[in-house]
Structure 1
Amino acid sequence: MTIDGFKHVLPITTRWMDVDVYGHVNNVVYYSYFDTVVNEQLVSAGLLDPQTSPVIGLVVETRCTYFRSLTYPAPVKAAMRVTKLGSSSVRYQIALFQGDDPSAAAQGHFVHVYVERATQRPVPIPEPVRALLQTLVV
């Protein structure tokens, strides 16, 4: 898998604390990078305020396949695209690339179900969010 075809790319720098005793970025941190690229896109577009938005996306499914270890210190590119856009859910495909390496070190997916914050019940994806997500569909 290469970075071509991804609609949004976020540079992330690995941190000292991301590395485990084996000398590579720990597997749980990959999921943090997934979460970061998705939510950064929503927050930077002004479509999500984590503290006050009445409708929020809850993660209901994630998966990651690892091809190579990410290391510290090194830049990472988190690339994202939407592969399925439903009425209340969205599935993102995400890949992580280290430095200028054209092939992914890891790839996976991340599913949000949109819910009303107060009730935690599914609701349709708000139209402004849907409009942004449509631009990320492949």
Structure 2
Amino acid sequence: MSKPIPQSRSAYRYFREITTRWMDNDVYAHVNNVVYYSWFDTVVNGWLLEQEVLDFGQSPAVGLVVETNCNYFSSIAFPDLVHAGLRVAHVGTSSVRYEVGLFANDGPIASAQGHFVHVYVDRVTRRLVPLPPELRRALEAIEVRQ
């Protein structure tokens, strides 16, 4: 399997700035890989909240993460500022595939990029449900057809 090519900022539709913290660095003086996944969560859920399509306590349908992936191209370290780019690669009946690019400071090429799949289920029964219409509209606005 060949490694993907790092994307440029123009490949993403939405951005969120994330400040690195001293505690994000590991003994190798760069951000530990597990932190990258927390940044994926931050950009996706931040976007969902901004679009007003997610209410953590009340939404009848909730997205569960069923798949993640991250490819690393160059190090990020404290005190870098991360620009997390977001796009939607696929909208299904009850699922969505988000793709995220992480850019260090003003870097034009992703330091890391990956994906994150949500499957939507009923909050109580945990059975699959179709994406709510308002969520589908928001997702389609940042969808990139490939």
TM-score bin, normalised by smaller chain: over 0.9
CA offsets per residue over residues 45-100 of structure 1, 9 Å max, x none? 21111122111110000000000111101110000100111000000111100011
Structure 2 counterpart of 1:92, one-letter code: Y
The alignment yields a C-alpha RMSD, in angstroms, of 0.7
* Count of aligned positions: 138
Q: Which residue of 2 aligns with 1:88?
A: 94
Name the % identity. Answer: 54
Q: 1:91-106 maps to which residues of 2 (within 5 A)?
A: 91-106=97-112
Are residue 18 (structure 1) and residue 30 (structure 2) matched? no
Write the distance in 1 (CA, Å) between the matches of 2:120 and 2:33.
Answer: 26
Which moved further from structure 2: 48-57 or 86-95? 48-57
Q: Which residue of 2 aligns with 1:37?
A: 43
Write the distance in 2 (CA, Å) between the matches of 1:17 and 1:114.
Answer: 33
Write the distance in 2 (CA, Å) between the matches of 1:5 and 1:135.
Answer: 14
TM-score by length of 1: 0.97
Write the distance in 1 (CA, Å) between the matches of 2:50 and 2:89.
Answer: 21
Alignment equivalent of 1:115, drawn from 117, 121, 132: 121
Structure 2 counterpart of 1:106, one-letter code: A
Give 1:5 deviation, angstroms.
Answer: 2.5
Write the distance in 2 (CA, Å) between the matches of 1:65 and 1:42.
Answer: 24
Helix, strand or coil for the counterpart of 1:20? coil
In the TM superposition, structure 1's runs of 4+ consecutive aligned residues that sit over 3 Å from their partners are none
Structure 2 counterpart of 1:111, one-letter code: V
Which moved further from structure 2: 108-117 or 40-49? 40-49
Which moved further from structure 2: 60-69 or 45-54? 45-54
Helix, strand or coil for the counterpart of 1:4? helix
TM-score by length of 2: 0.92
Are residue 4 (structure 1) and residue 10 (structure 2) matched? yes
Alignment equivalent of 1:77, drawn from 80, 83, 89: 83
Gaps of 5+ in 1: none
